[in-house]
Amino acid sequence: MLSPFSIPKWVRDCQVSFDPDTEAGSRRIEEIRARMAKFRDPDPEVTVVIPAYNEERDLLSTLDSLSRQQTRYRTLLLVVNNNSSDRTQEILDQCGVSSLFEPRQGISYTRQTGLENARGTYYLSADADSLYPPGWIDAHVAVLQDQTVSCSYGSHAFLPEGEDSRVWLAVYEKIAQWFFKFRGMRSREYLNVLGFNFAIRRQDGLNVGGFNINRQRWQDGWMAMQMMQLGKLKKVESDQGTVWTSSRRLQADGNLFQAFVKRMSIHSSKLVKYRAPTKNQVSS
């Protein structure tokens, strides 16, 4: 198992920024396009769905990581473009990625459109600003081989941005994982399911009504809660279930210390609530 304080080599390889307008950038796009050919299967067993809204900053790195997936399953990679006004669609086309356009603005609409257009047995949910380990697809499918499991989900690690320290980010992640485990023990495990790293059986997702388009926030947890009607939630425990994402997800709360204090305060205040019984349904 890798040290939580280090960044894996595969992440560093995909994290290298490049300008698609340069000769080197063009060569790298061609490499991604060549690897992506296997993820346009017309009869897939797995569909990986990614919503995208103005993602030109990180999209190439995400596609680079996904193009390196080592999977035994026939796979379709499908990106749902949600009114992007930057070069998102251009990058998708250059890389040979299958895509759809969703004119209704909002993450719930894009996830629902992706689910409705997915094919095959398994639906894997990803995001356009994260990096995925080479065995990510197979790690999720392996968990879903257990028919008592209705939803698999993974953990995440933060990539340092600016002056953020990977060491302190790892400490933050370790403490947060304790809260996640506690929520799981108190039947609140659905709160641990995040949209950029979970998987379900496609038909199950449709059977429970899909994503709640009346909720433009927490659509991932909502889906996980509905899936609890059909089976249990289970975490992918291996490193292949850990997705790497930018620490800018924390920067809305200020610097790393401020984000740490704010989020730990929120989690701590909810400990009593987590101890209370929960319902499998909430009103929309």
**Between 102 and 264, residue with greater pLDDT:** 102
Contact in structure between 100 and 113 (CB atoms under 8 Å): yes
Hey, what are 1's tokens? 């198992």
Q: What is the CATH number of the domain that holds 107?
A: 3.90.550.10
| 135 part of a folded domain | yes
List Cα–Cα distances, 14 to 82, 105, 159, in angstroms.
24, 29, 12
With CA atoms as reference, report the closest residue to 18 among 31, 37, 35.
Answer: 31
For residue 177, what pLDDT band results from cuts at 50, 70 and 90? confident
Of residues 279 and 119, more confidence is placed in 119
Q: Is the pLDDT of residue 280 over 50?
A: no
Residue 115 lies in a domain: yes
Tell me what percent of the residues of the chain surpass a pLDDT of 70: 81
- The most confident of 125-139, 210-224, 233-247, 258-272, by mean pLDDT: 125-139
**DSSP helix/strand/coil, 99:** strand
Report the pLDDT value the prediction gives residue 186, as an integer from 0 to 100.
52
pTM of the model: 0.85
In this structure, is residue 211 part of a structural domain? Answer: yes
Total number of domains in the chain: 1
Domain containing residue 198? 9-166+184-249
Q: State how far the Cα of 36 lies from the Cα of 63, in Å rounded to an integer.
A: 8
Q: Write out pLDDT tens, residues 53-109.
A: 999 989 999 999 999 999 999 999 999 999 999 999 999 999 999 999 999 999 999
Mean pLDDT of the chain: 86
> Could you tell me if residue 277 is inside a domain?
no
The answer to whether position 3 is within a domain reads no
- Model confidence pLDDT, tens digit, residues 4-39: 778 899 999 998 777 777 888 888 899 999 999 999
Q: Is the pLDDT of residue 279 over 90?
A: no
Assigned domain for 263 exists: no
Contacts 24+ apart (CB under 8 A), 279-283: 280/225, 280/228, 280/229, 281/225, 281/226, 282/222, 282/225
Residue 53, pLDDT score: 96
Average pLDDT for residues 108-117, to the nearest whole number?
97
Average pLDDT of span 190-204: 95
Query: Is 147 inside any structural domain?
Result: yes
For residue 58, being part of any structural domain is answered with: yes
Q: How far is CA 20 from CA 25, 80, 95, 98, in A?
A: 4, 21, 11, 19
